[in-house]
Every structure is written in C-alpha cells, then in structure tokens.
Structure 1
Amino acid sequence: MPADATVSIIVPVYNDPGGVAVTIDSSLSQSLDREYRIVVVDNGSTDRTPDVVRSSDDDRLSLAHETDVQSSYAARNTGIRATDADVLAFVDADVTVPEDWLDRALDEFETADADYMGCNVELTLPENPALAARYDAHTGFPVEQYLRRQRFAPTCCLFVRREVFEDVGLFDHRLTSGGDKEFGNRVHEAGYEMHFAEDVTMYHPTRNSIRDLVTKDLRVGRGLCQLQRYHPDRYGEPGIPPRPSGIKRPDRDLSRRDRLAFGALSTFLTGVRGLGYYREYVAGERDAEPGGVPALES
C-alpha cells in the first residue's frame, strides 16, 4: 500500500444518536499522522441522529444520506460512493476505537499485503450485566473463525481496498442480514488476500436484553433465506435453512449455572432464527427485490 494511500471510515447509522456520537468522537481522536476522512451515512433516521452528526465542525467529517433503501448495506454502498479513498474502513455506529486503532490497522494491512482485513472485536459489558449481555459477550464476534472457516469478516470491523469493490461489486443491499458474508465470499472466490488483524482491537457493546437478541436472530434468519433466494448457486435453494454456524456452545470453564443458561438460550435463539427464516420463506418471494449486486464504477 503506497504511503500516500487515502483512507475513509464509513459509518452507517439509523436512529442511534448516542452510539454515533461515541463512534465519531473516538474516530476523530486517531493518532494517525496522515489525513483521513469519516463518512457517516444516515439511513433515514427519524430522530435527532443527523443533528448529532452535523453538530461536529471537524472538516474531516461529512454526512451522507441513504433514503431510498432501508438497509445498512445500502448505506455502506452510499458511503463508498461518497468517497474516492484507496482504503475503506467500516465501523458500526456504536463501536469505540482506541487512539492508535487506525495507525495499527493500516500498518497491519500493509505488512500483510492484504486486500480485505477483519479486526479483533471485544464486547463491552454494562455494569451488573444480565443473562442476555453475558451470553452475547460469550458468543460475540469470533472474527478469526469467521475468516478461516466461512471466508468473511463482520462489517463492524472491516478494511477493504477500493479496487476490490471496483472488481467484485458492492454489498448486496437486498439482504436484511448476511451481506457481510456474501461480500466476503465473493472476495474470496475472486482470489483476493484476506487477513485477520489479531492485535487491532475495536470495542462493541453487548446486546443487553432478550428482546434485543431475539430481534437480531429474527433478522439473521431472514438473511439466511435471502442469501439462498438471491444466491442459490452458493448457498442452496430456499426451503431448508443452513446449519447454525459460529461459536454457540458454552465453554466448559463457565460455571455450571451459566453453561445451562447459555445452552438453553442458544437453543431458543436457534429456533428464533428458524422462525425468521420461514417467515421470509413464506412472505419473501412476493417481496423479493429485482436486480443484482450493484457495481462500483472505477
């Protein structure tokens, strides 16, 4: 990567003024000794989220809008188009990064000669965490395993060269969930170098209620069905959900109480994911969006 390569951080957001404020603050505090920019993409927020972004007078920060499609992947695509940076870093609007995050990440990106890189993610617990938060922290973001076994990294901790998007296309905005996996699989199939930055850490808050976990897994279930609907050559025809993936089995070093509770919650949430899948299977065909993966003009 050339020393003068340009960098932009892309942050999609929807109705999260507190989260985006924290992310902007830590992103603007980087110790990097070269210029970088932050593009926050509001995905049609109905609260004061855009005002929070506009309240910053830092000229490194800009606000873009994606109002045509309600999708975090559509928002990320809008962010990609809003900058001509050589390297694009994707961060969620509730993630905190340390001051040396961008410096360390770009050094790792260059040293590994990577085209696509996932960073380490640590989940942060609230005070006196309830079961849901402890479970979320335990099952969290096994980014290294995602990259090694499934060939993708979550979009909350992702670095990609612009030329990769120019070659394989942007994120599939039709997907409710799983767009990070679909894009990563495309990148892998195209032969690009993928890398895990173990020593580059970002901090993501846990989901702190059963309702939050259920909402997430319903969305994941819908995304699994959509992956099959829009990409059957890679994920199979809709009708039979793929097997659950990722770390879901409680570690043996947990207390017996937590092992039992986490195991029961994992089984319940697997069922929730299946419910989301079959809801999408029944209703989604008539709602399926036409078109394919959008391209990025070079």
Structure 2
Amino acid sequence: MTTVSIITPVYDDFPGLRETVDSLATLSTSVDWEHTVVDNGSTDGTRERAKRYVPDRLGGTVLCEDGIQSSYAARNAGVRHSDGDVLAFIDADMTVSEGWLEDSLDAFRVAEADYMGCAVELTLPDDPSLAARYDHHSGFPVGHYLEHQRFAPTCCLFVRREVFADVGLFDHRLTSGGDKEFGNRVAEAGYDLHFAPEVTMFHPVRDTLGALVRKDLRIGRGLCQLQRYHPARYGRPGVPPRPSGVKQPDPDLDARERRAFRVLETALTGVRGVGYYREYLAGDRTSGSGGIPDLED
C-alpha cells in the first residue's frame, strides 16, 4: 500500500497553520499517511504553539529548520525526515476537503504520475477589498503553469520519493521560484508532469496591497536568483525575463474595475522589477552554500 507524507512549512503564521491542521483532521481515508510541519525560524510563538497543537490535534510531527531561512529548506527537511512513498506539499493557511487525499491518490495512480499538481481555488473574504478581488481574479492557473512552464506550485504538489532521490531536493538558495526550478529539473530528467483538475485545494486570497507588494518583491528576487544559480536555463543576471502568466482583466468586468486591475497589474510588474534589481545589486548574499542538496545529505 502506498504511504503518504504531507509536509507543511510555516513561518510566523500559527492561525494559518491551525486552519490547515484542522482541515487535514477531517480527512476520510484508509490511506496510511503522516503530517510533518517544519517551522522555519518563527519568532512570534508559532513554533511553541505548533508543538502543542499539531501532535494533539493530528498526531503530527513538528520539526525546526533554523539553519537556512527558506521555505524550500523547510520542505527539504520535511522530505528527509518523513517516510512516505509519496510526498504531498500543502502550505500553512490552505484547506482541503475530506476526500482530498483519496481523490489525489486516485488521480496519481490513474495517470501513473511521478509529479502532479492539483487545482487551487482562491477563496474571498466577506466584503473583499480591491486587492482581494484582484488576487482572486488573477487566479492560480496550475494547469497553465504545468503546460507552459513545466512546474506546479509547492502548495499543491505530489511527488514520488524516487524523484527526489534521482534529481535532488529543492534549491534552498532561492527566495522564490524554487517550485519552478524543481519542476523544470524533473521535466528535464524525463518524468511526466501531470495536472489533476478534478482535485481542488483552497487558498485564501491576499487581501491587502501590502501583501501583494511583498509577494511581487519576493518573486522579483527569485527571478534574479534563478538566473544567478541556473544561468544555463534562465539566462544570466542583469536583464530580467519577460513577465509570464500575466492575467489580463476579463472584459466582462465593469469598466471601473477593469481599469483598476490594469493599473494594479502594471504597478505590481514594476514591483517585481524593483525586487529583481535589489537582488541583482545586492549580489550573492544567500544563506547556506553549495548547490542542489541530495535526499541523503
């Protein structure tokens, strides 16, 4: 029987982690699974609260990754310290239905997949802000990412352990884009990448302008880091890649919101550029050393 290790990195977000843990506690399945939470240097009490809550609520394990400030380093720690045949990644603050794990594994088996992304539905709060409506409209086009950019986000990803043993773990040097780099590496190694549109996971929208700006600054930094550490694949640093996957406002939107979304999209593209050039000018100041870590490191 296939065993599954569900891995969740967390940093300063116990409320989001609690939502995820409570969601996983409702799973209805005969699958042998475990949940590993990896705290990545939280300073707001998340770690201490998680160590009390996760084992009591779910029988899960809480690990600590303090050596490298990187969600990818945290995920790597989870991979190394878990035993499942299949690794499932879900971010803190995400939720799933009670049939999510059964449905995911069914899709995984039918496709004979080694690497699979699930659909992600963004959820709106009551009385959403402009930022929330924009984020919801932009969507989470996992199928598009897999078809055109050859990766799935790490918030909705299933991978066989053998794949990590073959191609290595996530590149912990990256602030953002580690999901893309890993997926591209998996594709180049000859594995099939599969999308399961029938399996849906739920992610809250970013509902403030500040949250959108922080996200795009991080993405800009990651674009520069991808070029710095993987120039053969992404080009040399200095000229940022052209924006990809930009969502144009739906013509069915009213004219005022369509104009607002265009302005916001342009501004956030500029924010990515700021993040890119900040990283470029700062040079290589990434924590840690070396290249792609191996499963047995």
TM, length-normalised to structure 2: 0.97
Q: Residue 143 of structure 1 contacts residue 154 of structure 1 at CA under 8 Å; is this kept in 2?
A: yes
Going from structure 1 to structure 2, the CA distance change for 1:241 and 1:50 (only over 3 Å counts) comes to same
Structure-2 change in CA distance of 1:40 and 1:286 (3 Å): closer
Greater shift, 280-289 or 116-125, is seen at 280-289
Tell me what 2:71 maps to. 72
Query: Contact 1:8 / 1:85 at 8 angstroms: preserved in 2?
Result: yes
**What is residue 39 of structure 2 aligned with on the other side?**
42
Shift of 1:267: 0.2
Q: 1:287 to 1:70 in 2, by over 3 A?
A: closer
Q: Could you give the per-residue CA deviations for residues 51-110 of structure 1, whole angstroms, max 9, x where no partner exists?
A: 332224256411111000010000000000111210000000010111000110000000
Residue of structure 2 equivalent to 1:157: 156
Q: Provide the rounded CA distance (Å) in 2 between the counterparts of 1:55 and 1:289.
A: 30
More off after superposition, 57-66 vs 167-176? 57-66
Counterpart Cα distance in 1 of 2:103 and 2:22: 18
Maintained 8 Å contact 2:21/2:58: no
Q: Return the alpha-carbon distance in structure 2 between the equivalents of residues 176 and 167 of structure 1.
A: 23
Matches within 5 A, 1:86-105: 86-105=85-104
Unaligned runs of 5+ in 1: none
| Segments ≥4 residues shifted beyond 4 Å | 286-289
Matched, 1:23 2:23: no
Q: Is the 8 A contact 2:173 2:286 kept in 1?
A: no
Is the contact made by 1:142 and 1:247 (CA closer than 8 Å) also made in structure 2?
no
2:232 partner amino acid: D
The farther-off stretch of 270-279 and 43-52 is 43-52
Q: CA distance change for structure 1 residues 274 and 96 in 2, over 3 Å: closer, same or farther? A: same
Alpha-carbon distance between aligned partners in 2 of 1:227 and 1:149, rounded to the nearest angstrom? 18
Aligned-residue sequence identity (percent) comes to 64
TM-score (norm 1): 0.96
Aligned residue for 1:55? 53
Give 2:88's aligned amino acid. Answer: A
Q: Extract unaligned runs of 5+ from structure 2.
A: none
Aligned residues: 295
* Partner amino acid, structure 1, of 2:35: I
Alignment partner of 2:284: what SS? helix
8 A Cα contact 1:182 1:227, kept in partner? yes
